[in-house]
Structure 1
């Protein structure tokens, strides 16, 4: 059986502030991590659900419906539309919030490194959503195609601010990819998200979009891709038959990207300990670091070891992770989840 080496924290961690996240991760997993995120604290707790409040402030973008739709932490989950008669190309979006959060948390990261809490050589990880996630979740119909270049430019500009503010040797960028899997799978009951808004094969469009984001990260900055089937209420929007779609999509993006991945993360559902789920991994293109999201709070190290054994028949080298972020895991479970990573994975 393969002994996993190293661990990846996918992004969100259920602590209230970046210092607690970074300090705890370094303490429990420092010799197993190559990167530490800030835990996606504050308004990023619910991943992209704060973006409607941001985008709704732009002239030319309106909220759909008269009454707010509460979504925890004071967020309004109402969808968005381009106002009648407005050319989307003329819309100027406000700051999206990702650059400001990254720069603020990096200061905390550096303070803790200076105190010796964060080991030298560990990078600061910034997780960013893809434009597909925002467009498919909050816009509909023709508005998706119209606003896509505007939002994409704004997100890439936020990436540029991060690249300008954080030394490249300290930085790692992760693209969070969830809605794309929904479009590919054509999951029943997932609504209009399933409809691509561009001409041609939806798969090809999703490949080119993600490859462009990977290539937007300079070669001296690490870049990773986290593939996901969602975790709303700790449930997927679809339960994958096996890892075949993940491998097919990852291979296509790897082939289409001009630069190499620093790491790739693939989720493993709680119930899957069978060879059939992992078999497609035998066809996965080489990546510098592969992480399998086989750590689950429900069955801890024992369950992780069963999934490690099943994966070992098809992947000769990998590290461990959870299948998605743990920011919305039950309160009090976070430290146990982090300790499970250490129990089942060897240090670097």
Structure 2
């Protein structure tokens, strides 16, 4: 077993893309194959800024009179108001393409200047449609809004892939809400969402995630970040083991006929035991060119990561790279450089 580099899931603590590219390159550049822009600006709180896109869409109105604020964003759900037929709902720009194109210009300039290593790709992290639909749409309207919102997200992807050379680009889809639905369907207490609007929970969420994954053109790298949430640096529910992570990963591999360049799986800080990693022996490892395990935690540093690396290696999953469980942009800024350095030390030690 060998450690094969490191992966940044998405968010860092920098306030702008240039700072992200510089700090990641300085502290971890030799171990990274791609760098995200840090999810700066309105994307700081992942999908919460998408409420503005729903508010600007004719035919949708908020439910409730008083704002429901989360991190300063109004997360009251939207319902169909009858002013537009559901099949004529039309979202305008969601903001992802605009942000990506602006950040890519900075990335390309810094790579040309030698700040970013030659051959490094620009990573764009996108949520699956299920995240915004669950957060911002009333349960009774989700099935009607799903098609128009999915089309809008794919239009963002089209703009990104049309403007950025394929050889420079890597697209990551973030699957988090999917695990809330899956765990809840298996009888676990998950305080998120009210259940799906389709019958077979696992098949439905896999079909939806694979649909957007297949839209990534050939030549552009495709990756998936599987996630159990990161609110206050805590999961919405702790995975019992890696079983559902493997179920989703294998389901994606079965539904997507192009190369999946990388797969990222979270590892809770408490889990350095063989039981957590045992399901990884069933992972269709050959379908993922790179595997990254989110087993690096700032709380227990080198010793904790080494224990989790040893257990993961003993599972027989083969070579893998290192990551945190999720992005770390909502932590304190002074943590970023030491956490990147921790990745580098661990990656260099094997």
The normalised TM-score by structure 1 is 0.96
Aligned residue in 1 for 2:76: 78
Provide the C-alpha distance between the structure 2 equivalents of 1:194 and 1:83, rounded to a whole number of angstroms: 21
Aligned partners of 1:12 and 1:88: how far apart in 2? 34
Report the Cα distance in structure 1 between the residues aligned to 2:298 and 2:62, rounded to whole angstroms: 37
- Whether contact under 8 Å (1:18, 1:105) holds in the other structure is yes
User: Is 1:88 aligned with 2:86?
Assistant: yes
**CA spacing shift, 1:318–1:279, aligned 2, 3 Å:** same
Q: Match of 2:301?
A: 300
Q: What secondary structure does 1:150 align onto?
A: helix
Q: Which residue of 2 aligns with 1:157?
A: 155
Q: Does the CA-based 8 Å contact 1:176-1:227 persist in structure 2?
A: yes
| Distance in 1, Cα, partners of 2:55 & 2:342 | 40
Match of 1:190 in 2: 190
* Partner of residue 268, structure 1: 267
1:26-85 per-position Cα deviation (integer Å, ceiling 9, x unaligned)? 11111100000000000000000110122111111112222323333x432222222145
Q: Distance in 2 between matches of 1:244 and 1:34?
A: 28
User: What is the alpha-carbon distance in structure 1 between the residues aligned to residue 140 and residue 54 of structure 2?
Assistant: 17
* Partner Cα distance (1:331, 1:189) in 2: 33
RMSD: 1.6
Given that 2:35 and 2:122 are in contact with CA atoms closer than 8 Å, whether structure 1 keeps it comes out as yes
* 8 Å CA contact retained: 1:182, 1:194: no
1:86 is displaced (CA, Å) by 3.5
The answer to whether the Cα contact below 8 Å between 2:191 and 2:236 also exists between their aligned partners in 1 is no
Query: After superposition, where does 1:1-348 map in structure 2 within 5 Å?
Result: 2-72=1-71, 74-84=72-82, 86-186=84-184, 188-191=188-191, 193-198=193-198, 200-286=199-285, 287-314=288-315, 315-346=317-348
Secondary structure in 1 aligned to 2:3? coil
Deviates more, 1:124-133 or 1:212-221: 212-221
- Counterparts of 2:265 and 2:202, CA distance in 1: 18
How many residue pairs get matched?
345
- Secondary structure at 1:322 match in 2: coil
Consecutive unaligned residues in structure 2, runs of 5 or more: none
1:207-241 deviation line (CA, Å, top 9, x unaligned): 11111111100111000000000010111111000
Secondary structure at 2:5 match in 1 = coil
Displacement after TM superposition at 1:253 (Å): 1.0
